[in-house]
């Protein structure tokens, strides 16, 4: 986990982003961009580009809501604020549907260190009560099983620091009650699920 902790997009990602912004901006204003070229070069788990989430096979309502939040800057997440800025509502919605229709690609099914501790934490906070016993979510609740560990860890920290909204958990406890150590273990437990 040390390797990917606090992972930031690497220079190659930044270069790609600049290229995409220049190349794609005029096209995005009229038609829905092709997710294969506009999004998935970054978002495929095999690309190993740091803390980039799996979005193929994620639920459409959840994807739509997040893209709208990035666009309206209710959620900060580099580089998605800039990437979503020029999207029309219809394009944004069409992309969410196109991505949701694709099969989920688990980031990793390899055993993760400290996953056993993470599973205890998931039980203690009753995370399954919303995300489902298989943690695959549904509707506006995201699938978190098989998500990228470094990404999950960063989001749980962001919830903890109140940078991103998350509903209360575990009998009203806030996500900021979760220590960085526990967040790392929870992320590991979730990442190794299918």
How far is residue 107 from each of residues 7, 22, 31, 43, 193, measured CA to CA in Å? 16, 29, 30, 10, 9
Among 32, 107, 152, 185, interactor with ligand HEC by CB under 6 A = 152
Contact code string over 78-117 relative to ligand HEC, x by CB under 6 A: -xx--x-----------x----------------------
Which residues, including other chains, have CB under 8 Å from residue 86's CB and lie 6 or more apart? 25, 28, 29
**First and final CA of the chain: distance in angstroms?**
19
Interactions with ligand HEC, residue window 167-186 (CB under 6 A) = 167, 169, 186
A 10 A CB-CB count for 79 gives 18
CB of 183 to ligand HEC, least distance (A): 8
Query: Residue 131, preceding bond cis, omega within 30 degrees?
Result: no
What CA–CA distance (Å, rounded) separates 141 from 18? 31
Among 32, 56, 77, 185, interactor with ligand HEC by CB under 6 A = 77
Asked whether the beta carbons of 146 and 55 are under 8 A apart, the reply is no
Q: Does 149 bind ligand HEC (CB under 6 A)?
A: no
Residues in the chain: 194
CB of 114 to ligand HEC, least distance (A): 14
Among 67, 100, 115, 149, interactor with ligand HEC by CB under 6 A = 67
Interactions with ligand HEC, residue window 4-43 (CB under 6 A) = 9, 13, 16-17, 20, 33, 35, 38-39, 42-43
CB of 83 to ligand HEC, least distance (A): 5
CB of 111 to ligand HEC, least distance (A): 19
Angle in degrees, CA 150, 153, 156, rounded to 5: 150
Asked whether the beta carbons of 76 and 163 are under 8 A apart, the reply is yes
Residues that bind ligand HEC (CB under 6 A): 9, 13, 16-17, 20, 33, 35, 38-39, 42-43, 52-53, 55, 58, 63, 65-67, 77, 79-80, 83, 95, 125, 127, 129-131, 140-142, 144, 147, 152, 154-156, 165-167, 169, 186
């Amino acid at each position: 986990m040390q390797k990917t902790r606090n992972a930031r997009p690497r220079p190659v990602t930044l270069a790609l982003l600049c290229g995409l912004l220049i190349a794609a901006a005029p096209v995005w204003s009229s038609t829905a961009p092709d997710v294969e070229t506009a999004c998935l070069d970054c978002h495929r788990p095999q690309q190993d580009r740091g803390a980039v989430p799996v979005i193929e096979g994620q639920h459409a309502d959840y994807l739509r809501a997040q893209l709208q939040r990035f666009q309206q800057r209710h959620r900060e997440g580099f580089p998605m604020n800039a990437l979503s800025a020029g999207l029309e509502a219809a394009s944004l919605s069409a992309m969410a549907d196109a991505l949701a229709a694709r099969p989920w690609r688990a980031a990793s099914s390899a055993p993760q260190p400290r996953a056993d501790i993470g599973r205890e934490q998931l039980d203690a906070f009753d995370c399954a009560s919303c995300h489902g016993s298989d943690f695959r979510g549904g509707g506006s609740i995201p699938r978190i099983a098989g998500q990228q560990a470094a990404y999950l860890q960063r989001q749980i920290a962001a919830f903890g620091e109140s940078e991103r909204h998350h509903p209360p958990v575990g009998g009203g406890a806030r996500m900021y009650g979760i220590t960085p150590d526990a967040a790392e273990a929870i992320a590991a437990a979730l990442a190794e699920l299918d």
